[in-house]
Chains A and B, each alone.
Chain A
Amino acid sequence: MELQLTFFLTLAAVLFCIGIYGLVVSRNAIRVLMSIEIMLNAVNLNLLSFSNFLDSGLVRGQVFTVFVITVAAAEAAVGLAIVLGIYRNRSTIDMESFNLLRW
C-alpha cells in the first residue's frame, strides 16, 4: 500500500467542511478568520496533491500555492485590522451584533 491521491483529497475535503462549519457557526469574529485560514489550507493541500500526482514534472500547483499563501497573508492582515476597527466602534466582536448594513 502506498500513498494515493484520494487520501489527500479526502483529507482536504474534511478540513474544508470543518472550515465552512466554523465560518458559519462561530460568533467570535477572530474565530471566523481562523476558519477561513483552515479552508485556505485545505485548498492548498488540494493544489499540492494535484501538483505531485498529476503534474510532477512542472510543479505548477506549487506555484499557485505560493500565490494562495501570499493572498492569505494579505487577507489575514486586512481582516484583523477590520476586526479591530469594528471592535473600537461597537466594543464587541460578536458576529451577530455586526448589523450596521442591515436595511
Chain B
Amino acid sequence: MAFSLSNGVQVMVFGILAGMAVLFALGVVFAESIIYAGFLLAGLFLSMSGLYLLLNADFVAAAQVLIYVGAVNILILFAIMLVNRRYTFTPLKFGWLRNGVTGLVCVGLLSLLVLTVFQTPWPITAIESINAIETIGGHFFSDYLLPFELASVLLLMALIGAIILARREYILATQEKEGLFSLLERPRPQLEPNEPTLKR
C-alpha cells in the first residue's frame, strides 16, 4: 500500500507506471498488428491497476485485474481471433486530413485539460487511513443500493443481448429436421482449405 512507502519511492513508482501506461496506450492505437494491440491493452490495464494501488484503492485494483485483464481483454482477443483476416484497408481520399484534424483537436483538448488541472485550486484534504473495502461495502448496501441492484439487471441484459446478437441467425426453410431442443442455426459455410485470406 502507498502508506508504507516513502514519498520519493511513491513518485518514482508513479513515474514508471505512468510511462508504461502512456507507452502501452500509444501502442494500442498505433500498433500495426491488431493482436499486438490486444496484448498491449492488457499491459495498459495492469499498469492502471498499479496506479490504483498507489491511490489507496486496493479493492478497485483487484477488480481491475480480475475484470479487465481477466474478462474484457480475453473477450477482445477472442473477437480478434473470430474476425482475424489480413485486411488491406484502402486509403481514404482525405485520410491524412482527417488524421491531422483529429490530432489537432486532441492536442487542443489535452492542453485545455492540463491548463484547467493546474489552474483550479483543488480543496485537497489530508488522506485518512481507512479500511476501503468495508467502506465500499457499506456504501453498496446503504446509499448506493439502487445503482447496485440496477447494475445486476444491466449485466443480465448485457449477457442475454450479447448471446442473441452473436448467435448465428437461423433460416427455417433450409433447416434440417432436428431434435426439439437443438439450437437452430444457419448452416456454417464450408471453408476452402487453402483460402488465402485466412492467414495466421
Interface string of A17-45 (1 = CB under 8 A from B): 11111101111101101110110010011
User: Chain A: interface secondary structure?
Assistant: helix
User: Mostly helix, strand, loop or mixed at chain B's interface?
Assistant: helix
15 contacts across the A-B interface (CB closer than 8 A):
A1-B7, A2-B7, A6-B117, A10-B117, A17-B106, A33-B76, A34-B37, A45-B51, A45-B52, A56-B56, A73-B155, A74-B157, A77-B162, A83-B83, A87-B83
- Check B136–A59 contact: CB distance below 8 A: yes
Chain B residue nearest to A3 in the complex (CB) = B10
Contact A80 B44 (CB under 8 A): no
Q: Are B161 and A48 in contact (CB under 8 A)?
A: no
Q: For residue B198, which residues in chain A have a CB less than 8 angstroms away from its CB? A: none
Closest to A15 in B: B25
A37-B41, A81-B165 given as contacts; is B7 within 8 A of A14 (CB)? no
Contact of A92 among B21, B87, B110 (CB under 8 A): B87
Which residue from A54, A76, A78, A88 sits with its C-beta under 8 Å from B124?
A54
Residues of A near any B CB (own CB < 8 A) = 1-3, 5-11, 13-22, 24-28, 30-31, 33-35, 37-38, 41, 44-45, 48-49, 51-60, 62-63, 65-67, 69-78, 80-85, 87-88, 92-94, 96
**Partner among B48, B98, B130 whose Cβ is within 8 Å of the Cβ of A59:** B130
Q: A52: which of B14, B72, B127, B165 is its contact (CB, 8 Å)?
A: B127
Q: How large is the interface on B (under 10, 10 to 19, 20 to 34, 35 or more residues)?
A: 35 or more
The answer to the question of B118 belonging to the interface, with a C-beta cut-off of 8 Å to chain A, is yes
Cα–Cα, bound, A85→B30 (Å) = 26
Provide the residues of chain B in CB contact with A16, threshold 8 Å.
113
Q: How far is the CA of A103 from the CA of B113 in the complex (A)?
A: 36
Residues from chain B with a CB closer than 8 A to the CB of A53 are 122, 124-125, 127
Bound-state Cα–Cα, A54 to B158, Å: 34
| Given A2-B11, A11-B18, A87-B82; 9 other pairs, CB 8 A cutoff | A3-B14, A11-B51, A24-B102, A59-B132, A69-B67, A74-B158, A80-B75, A84-B79, A85-B166
Contact B89 A94 (CB under 8 A): yes
Tell me, rounded to whole Å, the shortest Cβ–Cβ distance linking B198 to chain A.
12
Give chain B nearest CB distance to A33 CB in angstroms: 7
Q: Is the CB of A25 within 8 A of B98?
A: yes
- In the complex the two chains form, what is the Cα distance from A35 to B67 in whole Å? 17
B16 at the interface (CB under 8 A from A): no
CB distance A81 to B125 under 8 Å? no
Known: A25-B99, A77-B158. A1 touches B83 (CB 8 A): no
Contact A38 B57 (CB under 8 A): no
- B56's partner among A35, A52, A72 (CB-CB below 8 A) is A52
